[in-house]
Structure 1
Amino acid sequence: MRGGAADAAIQFQGWERQRILDLFAVLDWMMRLPEGLEDKLWQDIEQIEGERKMPYVTSVERRATERGIQQGIQQGIQQGEEKVLERLLTRRFGPLSEATRQRLRSATLEQLERWTDNILDAATLENVFKD
């Protein structure tokens, strides 16, 4: 008689990875196992992961990861835009006040883009920030 991960691996042969992950996610969502059984389940899952090189990641975890990556990319773009605009403003109008630097830090990406466009025609620093 087989037990644990061996039975699970045999039963899941031929299933697509996503189908297995979805099944685990549904089971995890639907029921709470007694601590001893939950520990055994995780041991079996870890063994299967090792055999198949397949980490157990639910769709919720994947979506959260993807959302985090997108937010990180957006934040990086915004910080880059802020730094470029700060450099351009300093070069054109001289050293910036702390109030102006704070205004740049608290601006939205759309505002930063608009101000970057405005710098080309603005005669004064105040004109850069006009909408």
Structure 2
Amino acid sequence: MRRDSLFYQLFAQLPQTLFDLLGREAPQGYRFESVELKQTAFRIDGVFMPPDPSGIVYFCEVQFQRDNSFYERFFAEIFLYLRLYRHTFSDWQAVVIYPHRQAEQVSFDPYEVLVNSHRLHRVYLNELGSLEGLPLSLALMQLTVLPEAEMPTVARLLAERTRTEAVPRPEVIIELITTIVLYKFTELSREEVLRMLGFTTEELKRTRFYRDVYAEVREEVYAEVREEVLQQGLQEGLQQGLQEGLQQGLQQGLQQGLQQGLQQGLQQGEALVVLRQLRRRFGELPAGLEERIRQLPVHEIEALAEALLDFTDLEEVFAWLNRSS
């Protein structure tokens, strides 16, 4: 993952980050987008658009490598945007984020007036100050430029701040911290990083990663057992139907057998999915619990499969079954 992708996620999830950089109260209603100016194939990393035409539009670029033609390109993109969308704002500001001053181009000619004007704000991440005193959004930015040796300790401190501070949507912070650390430690899996950072089970369950894994496991189990169980249920139903068909008529028996087989196969398949999920999470299951789940109708088995995401032990499974009955 490229570093600008990390910042795109940060701005998209926490748009107040830009205003934290500027030391301003975050206005309401701003939308963040990455805008492509198709006429010239220019793309601005981020555009913070005001909710109405009387507001200020903010342009934001993340520049981690020195480019001695950067300002030439950046101002060209800005002025093309101003020309195309002039009716959507009343004024403009620009922000460039550098890891340090050495990444900035050497000469500003012929854009020195604009570079040194109030319209451009240059941010150097290594000069923002102590991580402990920064808003979490800016601390996440600094995390991207830390040496590998320092990153796990600092990332754990930021994770701890999500627990002790009044943070809106802490699961977003957890996801961003994890993604930034993964960018450095490419040999680790996302789950290993989450564990390394000391996130609790409850915090893990709120992340997009946990839910994606849950969905993946569920689909895997379904694919593995559904066809086999449906076939088995169909055969059993057909056999029973054929036996009844000897007494009631072959045609009626075949129809009933097919219908009954499909219903039994679906019910058994759903039950096996839930039992497989429970064994993966809690180990061997009591025989009585398995039998209760196998006897549930299909709609209750499907509801139990969804509820499993929030269970932390088998007692909660029993409690759910008792409530359902």
**TM-score when normalising by structure 2:** 0.21
In terms of Rg, which structure is larger? 2
Higher strand proportion, which one?
A: 2
Higher helix proportion, which one?
A: 1
Which one has more relative contact order, counting CA pairs under 8 Å at least 6 apart?
1
**TM-score when normalising by structure 1:** 0.48
